[in-house]
Amino acid sequence: MAGTLYLVGTPIGNLGDISPRAVETLESADFIAAEDTRVTLKLLNHLGLKKPLVSYYQHNSAASGQRILERLLAGENCALVTDAGMPAISDPGEPLVAACAEAGVPISVVPGPSAVVSAVALSGLPTGRFTFEGFLSTAKKSRTEHLESLRTERRTMVFYEAPHKLQSTLRDLRDTFGGARRIALCRELTKLHEEVLRMTLDEAVLYYAETPPRGEFVLVVEGSQEAAAPEVTPEEAAARVRALRAEGVSARDAARRVAEETGLPRSILYEAAIRPE
């Protein structure tokens, strides 16, 4: 009979947030699969637990995942944890859960802290419907396409971002959604220096141009207030771009302004801005 894969939520900062059931599950599991065994060892030491740890992270997930699955099929119980929060959510645990489901291995969840839900609750933005978008791609084309696909998204949007990429991400969000769009920047959630800043995208770009970002961020962005449907043709929009250029507006700003006005893709309008007449 197969063992059970337990998905155990762990603290996203404050170790006091771990639940009694999570502690019991970690203690009773035959072994623990951890994204970073060093991080999990610190948690286990805090709890006074000693358990066998196996490494399971993005770059070894195929080989390690197969070994974990074999042990589960042999009857062992495994607790899967990530460095912080719920495993399998924007996390390497996703393919392991899929493999276990396909193989008929029982899967049980031990709920715990979640940066996504915590940030949405703190944001002050609409929480009834939201979409989690994870980390944006570092590849410019994929990043642009991802954001363009969300231009007319009416639900609140949630992104993860590292401090060294925050400023460029805020500029891309502003250029796509417009500077007046509201954003809540949630930093170091549940930790000593927890901070939530609520402002517009224009204000956020200016603020972090002068304030070096520190810590991991969850960005909660207001959804579009209008259903998108361009009221002008692409040809009319291109003419508007050229008119702005004639007034001395840069190609980048002209494309951005007309994109905000029409809902048409900024990349197409930028091409119109730099195309010789």
Choose the CATH number for 5-113 among 3.30.450.40, 1.10.3720.10, 3.40.1010.10, 3.40.50.300: 3.40.1010.10
Check whether 230 has a pLDDT greater than 60: no
251-262 and 166-177 are packed helices; what angle lies between their axes, rounded to 10 degrees?
Answer: 50
Check whether 259 has a pLDDT greater than 90: no
pLDDT digits (tens, 9 = 90+) for 59-98: 999 999 999 999 999 999 999 999 999 999 988 999 999 9
Q: What is the CA radius of gyration of the chain?
A: 23
Q: How confident is the model at residue 264 (pLDDT cuts 50, 70, 90)?
A: confident
Check whether 135 has a pLDDT greater than 60: yes
Q: What pLDDT score was predicted for residue 265?
A: 83
pLDDT digits (tens, 9 = 90+) for 199-212: 999 999 999 999 99
Q: Give percent of the chain with pLDDT exceeding 90.
A: 78
pLDDT digits (tens, 9 = 90+) for 183-192: 999 999 999 9
Check whether 257 has a pLDDT greater than 70: yes
Q: How confident is the model at residue 227 (pLDDT cuts 50, 70, 90)?
A: low
Q: What pLDDT score was predicted for residue 81?
A: 97
What is the residue extent of each domain of the chain? 5-113, 116-136+155-221, 234-274
Owner of token pair 């998108």: 228
Check whether 16 has a pLDDT greater than 90: yes
Across the range 156-182, mean pLDDT stands at 96
Sequence-separated (6 or more) residues with CB below 8 Å from residue 129? 154, 155, 156
Same fold? 5-113, 116-136+155-221: no
Q: How far apart are CA 257 and CA 103, in angstroms?
A: 52
CATH architecture of the domain with range 116-136+155-221: 2-Layer Sandwich (3.30)
What integer best gives the mean pLDDT of the chain? 93
Q: What pLDDT score was predicted for residue 120?
A: 98
- pTM (2 d.p.): 0.78
Q: How far apart are CA 111 and CA 122, in angstroms?
A: 19
Element (H, E) at 81: strand 78-81
Q: How confident is the model at residue 15 (pLDDT cuts 50, 70, 90)?
A: very high
* Other beta carbons less than 10 A from residue 70's beta carbon: 11
Across the range 110-133, mean pLDDT stands at 96
Q: How confident is the model at residue 277 (pLDDT cuts 50, 70, 90)?
A: low
Q: How far apart are CA 87 and CA 76, in angstroms?
A: 19
